[in-house]
Amino acid sequence: MNGALRAFFKLRPKLPAKMFGRRAVLPAAALLLLAPPLLFFTGQDFYLDLLTRALILAIAALSLNLLVGCGGMVSLGHAAYIGIGAYSVGIPAHYGVHDGALHLALAVSLSAAFAFLTGAVCLRTRGLYFILITLAFSQMLYFTLVSIDAYGADDGLVITRRSSFPGLQLEHALVLYYCVFAALALFLFGMRRLMHARFGRVLLGCRHNRARMRALGFDAYRHQLACYVLSGAVCGVAGFFLGNFTDFVSPAMLDWTRSAELLFMVIIGGAGALFGPLVGAAVFLVLAELLSGITLHWHLLFGALLIALVLRGQLFTRG
């Protein structure tokens, strides 16, 4: 046991995405593309749901990875954007408006606006203060939603009809899944472009040496704020999907523990690694499922495993 543990921690640090290798990307994509119809038509709805949820959370974790991995900004308030995205579906639906384009536009624009307003303040601080102030802003939103009785307060809202697009019904589990899949693929591609483009390189520079970047003439604050807004907007899309997927929105979606879970996914997958959030979200959900099947006190085991994974994630995390 001791030897196994030691071997576990002494593994050569590699980025998980590299650990699985580039060769794994195509088979993984093929699996994610082909498995759902099989699951659906064999009646394995549970696994299709798990897969859909994993991909939605992967989008959210990807947006946080943009913040943490590229920008070096560790936020503990990212679930706020999931909440904004989900309520962008829930509130209009409550009034009988089911237009998907409107929902999506609301999710993106409100998330971006919230990110802009709060980020402008958060980014005046660094490190621990930044973490705490992002947490404070998300809690403000949480308690605001808890206090609005018209939208169900603590109990939230049931979404009786999912967002509808012309010719596209998210009611169907497979349609929803493929929409999520397409969005994730799009964001992964965009993230990859961004990381290698000027913006990504400047962000990385600011992450590692802000003073040097400022002395070179870069407005570090504006670049980081742009990153913050972009990240919030992408996470809003994840919220849009999550609201549709669960047919339900509630303040619990933006509880700070949800933010911490997203952070776990990013760290498990390796901050800054392109496919890290996908790996992190999958590992997180699968572990939770497996452990909760073994014992009622699975949180204890889960916590211990998370600590181990984070310790290894720390080895993984690289510039």
Q: How buried is 242 (Cβ within 10 angstroms: 0-12 exposed, 13-18 middle, 19+ buried)?
A: buried
* Separation CA 67–CA 62 (nearest Å): 9
Least gap, CB of 309 to other proteins (angstroms): 23
215 lies in the site for other proteins, by CB under 8 A: yes
- Joined together, the tokens standing for residue 223 give 């670049």
C-alpha closest to that of 65 among 232, 203, 264, 266: 266
* Separation CA 78–CA 67 (nearest Å): 10
Q: Which residue in 103, 223, 258, 312 binds other proteins (CB under 8 A)?
A: 223
- Joined together, the tokens standing for residue 110 give 């409100």
226 lies in the site for other proteins, by CB under 8 A: yes
Which of the stretches 57-65, 192-200, 253-261, 276-284 binds other proteins when contact is defined by CB under 8 A?
Answer: 192-200
196 lies in the site for other proteins, by CB under 8 A: yes
DSSP designation for 125: S
C-alpha closest to that of 64 among 319, 250, 281: 281
Which of the stretches 153-161, 205-213, 297-305, 307-315 binds other proteins when contact is defined by CB under 8 A?
Answer: 205-213
* Separation CA 111–CA 235 (nearest Å): 8
Neighbour tally for 182: CB within 10 Å: 10
Beta strand 248-249 with 157-158: parallel, antiparallel or unpaired? antiparallel
* Separation CA 309–CA 268 (nearest Å): 6
214 lies in the site for other proteins, by CB under 8 A: yes
Which of the stretches 90-98, 103-111, 187-195, 232-240 binds other proteins when contact is defined by CB under 8 A?
Answer: 187-195
Contact predicate 229/249, CB 8 Å = no
202 lies in the site for other proteins, by CB under 8 A: yes
Least gap, CB of 190 to other proteins (angstroms): 7
204 lies in the site for other proteins, by CB under 8 A: yes
198 lies in the site for other proteins, by CB under 8 A: yes
Euclidean distance between the first and final Cα of the chain, in Å? 32
C-alpha closest to that of 162 among 88, 216, 243: 243
Which of the stretches 93-101, 178-186, 213-221, 250-258 binds other proteins when contact is defined by CB under 8 A?
Answer: 213-221
205 lies in the site for other proteins, by CB under 8 A: yes
Q: Which residue in 69, 156, 200, 280 binds other proteins (CB under 8 A)?
A: 200
Q: Which is nearer to other proteins, 23 or 198 (CB)?
A: 198
124 lies in the site for other proteins, by CB under 8 A: no
Q: Which residue in 144, 209, 295, 314 binds other proteins (CB under 8 A)?
A: 209
318 lies in the site for other proteins, by CB under 8 A: yes
201 lies in the site for other proteins, by CB under 8 A: yes
186 lies in the site for other proteins, by CB under 8 A: no
217 lies in the site for other proteins, by CB under 8 A: yes
Contact predicate 110/236, CB 8 Å = yes
Which of the stretches 118-126, 149-157, 204-212, 292-300 binds other proteins when contact is defined by CB under 8 A?
Answer: 204-212
Q: Which amino acid appears at position 18 of this protein? A: K
By CB under 8 A, name the binding residues for other proteins: 190, 193-194, 196-202, 204-205, 208-209, 211-220, 223, 226, 318-319
